[in-house]
Chain A
Amino acid sequence: MTLTLHHNMTCHPISMRVFFFYTVYCVFFCQHKEIDDNVISPEKAEEVKLKARYPHLGAKPGGSDLLRKRLQKGQKFFDSGDYNMAKAKVKNKQQLPAVTPAEKAEITGDHIPTPQDIPQRKPSIVASKLAG
């Protein structure tokens, strides 16, 4: 809730006493509304909690981030640099300085499909345990 007093000040000069009362009333109303929000809506309280933990969440418009992640499920990206680093990591068993990943993101290079990793066509093997 914004206080638009500029308009009042230029067009309708008001006495300082009324102005003071109006300001106090507006501030009181704002605070009261916030308290009401937390009491009425557990959902809003949860949102406050989430925003406190992840301040950058929801900065981008819409749920498009979530939607795009959903559409790209299963995509594996190949990066020759990551691939060679992953090979070197296994060889040397060294802890290379890890780049901190963004929240909820996979580290590319750890999940790339190497020719050895790609699942071969499974023969009709293990029967379902429901049929046991």
Chain B
Amino acid sequence: MAGVAGGNDFQWCFSQVKGAIDEDVAEADIISTVEFNHSGELLATGDKGGRVVIFQHEQECKNRPHLRGEYNVYSTFQSHEPEFDYLKSLEIEEKINKIRWLPQQNSAHFLLSTNDKTIKLWKIGERDKRAEGYNLKDEDGRLRDPFRITSLRVPVLMPMDLMVEASPRRVFANAHTYHINSISVNSDHQTYLSADDLRINLWHLEITDRSFNIVDIKPANMEELTEVITAAECHPNQCNVFVYSSSKGTIRLCDMRTAALCDRHTKFFEEPEDPSSRSFFSEIISSISDVKFSHSGRYMMTRDYLSVKVWDLNMENRPVETYQVHEYLRSKLCSLYENDCIFDKFECCWNGSDSAIMTGSYNNFFRMFDRNTRKDITLEASRESSKPRATLKPRKVSTGGKRKKDEISVDSLDFNKKILHTAWHPKENVIAVAATNNLYIFQDKIN
């Protein structure tokens, strides 16, 4: 996957867009998470209304091999519903914070979805056969009069139209006092972790009435609270290792073999700050909104408000690579604080070969960085560039006084159009970008 960002031969083009076009966006339709499964065949989205929609990659047409298959709706269900905790006087949103797929072990697909308080394991299974010729009931289900039955027959399995059913298999509830921000499936395929602002719990996928608390940073006196947990992830192949990031811009790597309670980290990653450049905003913009291990497990990537950093797990004192996402916002921090945009939590993702990374920005822009060529590109998810297989034109924000043609000035950016959630297919150059209530799918140009 060479040169995915602005390389000579590489170009991204529009594939599909899902969702309504209306200007008036209902709060419930705002997409809150996007995730490909491990093969890339399925793409799941969660929204603020607690609903999950799963798309499936259709097989390519034999007649038109130059077209990659499309993603079409496979299943949709209501995962979480709004609740009110009367005891604590707390409103619990149904918004899906994260979806994580389990590796596939049989014909069914399993995923974990979570809101602020409860994690659920969903099974998505296919049914394409049904039994016909029952003795005790009619084809429409009504019970037959037993006195009318004069002969016995064996029911036969007959093919039927494919039906995809989603059913909740486990509900992992009541383990988090604070708001869950992350879930991560362990490489042992038996356990997973869930993290809230102050604690991280380890669960077994089969056991719902118990979980182990492995990190607790709640101070004895809440007045002394200085930082919260912002994200957590299990290592992709070392089942004893996980990391968690904080609102102070630090990452702690923990080894579950050292102790039952991993309050003492094994490694502590922090980039030293220049004390003379410290301002009121420093801590806020250093807060890490997402942490992701590379597929290889050698590196991890963190996203803070203005940049993306790649860390080598063997080097704790500084990142090995830093990419500026939208440095031009540094001189707008005052207004971004006033309109709360400075607290937006952007996610980031790796491509399948770890050679490129992607993250979102404002004005429906998203950015891609090629780690090998050091080139970067800014693209836009918009209806205007949504013609089938239309090549996406690189976008540029003008920072200086002179604005070139086709450039957009910082003051014209729409800060309500934020791309917080993006996902990259694990094997191919296909990306999913969530722009508020629309899901865009882009792919590379095949010639």
Give A contacts to B, CB under 8 Å. Answer: 40-47, 49-51, 53, 57-58, 62-64, 66-68, 70-71, 73-78, 113, 118-119, 121-122, 124, 126-132
Can you name 5 A-B residue pairings with CB atoms under 8 Å? A43-B279, A71-B198, A74-B90, A113-B91, A118-B84
Please indicate the chain B residues that have their CB under 8 angstroms from the CB of A51 in the complex: 280
Q: Is the CB of B84 within 8 A of A122?
A: no
Q: Are A64 and B223 in contact (CB under 8 A)?
A: yes
B93 with A74: CB separation less than 8 A? yes
The residue of chain B having its C-beta at the shortest distance from the C-beta of A122 within the complex is B81
A42 to B277 alpha-carbon distance, docked (Å): 10
Most interface-central of A58, A76, A121 (chain B CB within 10 A): A76
Query: Within the complex, which residue of A47, A57, A68, A129 is in contact with B437, where a contact is CB–CB below 8 Å?
Result: A129
> Which chain A positions have C-beta within 8 A of B91?
74-76, 113
- Which of A73, A78, A122 contacts B89 (CB under 8 A)? A78
CB distance from B178 to the nearest CB of A (A): 6
User: Residue-by-residue, is B180-203 near A (CB-CB < 8 Å gives 1, otherwise 0)?
Assistant: 000000000000000001100000
Flag whether B76 is at the interface (Cβ < 8 A): yes
Complex: A108 Cα to B217 Cα, angstroms? 30
Q: Chain B contacts of A78 at CB under 8 A?
A: 89
Further 5 A-B residue pairs, CB within 8 A, beyond A47-B279, A63-B284, A128-B49: A42-B331, A63-B247, A75-B88, A76-B90, A128-B51
Chain A nearest CB from B51 CB (Å) reads: 4
Q: How far is the CB of B438 from chain A (nearest CB, A)?
A: 8
* Contact A49 B90, CB 8 Å, known A63-B247, A127-B51, A131-B53: no
B280 A57 Cβ-Cβ under 8 A = yes
Q: B222, B228, B279, B332: which contacts A44 (Cβ < 8 A)? A: B279
- In the assembled complex, the Cα of A122 lies from the Cα of B79 at a distance in Å of 11
Q: Is B82 part of the binding interface, using a Cβ–Cβ cutoff of 8 Å?
A: yes
Q: CB-CB < 8 A to A127: which residues of B?
A: 51, 76
Residues of A within 8 A of B82 (CB): 119, 122
Is there an interface contact between B226 and A62, defined as CB atoms closer than 8 Å?
yes
Task: Say how far B348's CB is from chain A's closest CB, in angstroms.
Answer: 21
Interface status of B227 (Cβ within 8 A of chain A): yes
Closest beta carbon of chain A to B246's beta carbon, Å:
11
User: Which residues of B are found within 8 Å of A113, using beta-carbon distances?
Assistant: 84, 91
Residues from chain B with a CB closer than 8 A to the CB of A62 are 226
Q: Chain B binding site: helix, strand, loop or mixed by DSSP?
A: mixed
Q: With both chains docked as a complex, state the minimum distance between the C-beta of A52 and any C-beta of chain B, in angstroms.
A: 9
Closest to A124 in B: B78
B334–A71 touching, CB < 8 Å:
no
Q: How far is the CB of B277 from chain A (nearest CB, A)?
A: 6
Interchain CB contact under 8 A, A124 and B93: no
Q: Cβ of A75: which chain B residues have Cβ within 8 Å of it?
A: 88-91
> Does the CB pair B29–A66 fall under 8 Å?
no
Indicate if the CB atoms of A58 and B51 lie closer than 8 Å. Answer: no
When distances are taken between beta carbons in the complex, the residues of chain A under 8 Å from B214 are none
**Smallest beta-carbon distance B407→chain A, Å:** 20
Q: How far is the CA of A65 from the CA of B397 in the complex (A)?
A: 34
Inter-subunit contact B281/A46 (CB<8 Å): yes
Task: Verify B283–A43 contact, CB threshold 8 A.
Answer: no
Q: Is B33 an interface residue when CB atoms closer than 8 A count as contact?
A: no
CB distance from A61 to the nearest CB of B (A): 9
Which residues of chain A are near B179, meaning CB under 8 Å? 71, 73-74
- Candidates A41, A57, A131; contact of B279 at CB < 8 Å: A41
Chain B CB within 10 Å, residue with most, of A58, A122, A131? A131
Which residue of the partner chain, among A43, A77, A126, A131, contacts B277 with CB atoms under 8 Å? A43
Which B residues touch A63, using CB under 8 A? 226, 247, 283-284
| B19→A130 contact, CB < 8 A | yes
Report which of B29, B226, B334 forms a contact with A50, defined as CB distance below 8 A.
Answer: B334
Closest A residue by C-beta to B230? A70
**Contact call A43/B84, Cβ cutoff below 8 A:** no
Closest to A123 in B: B78
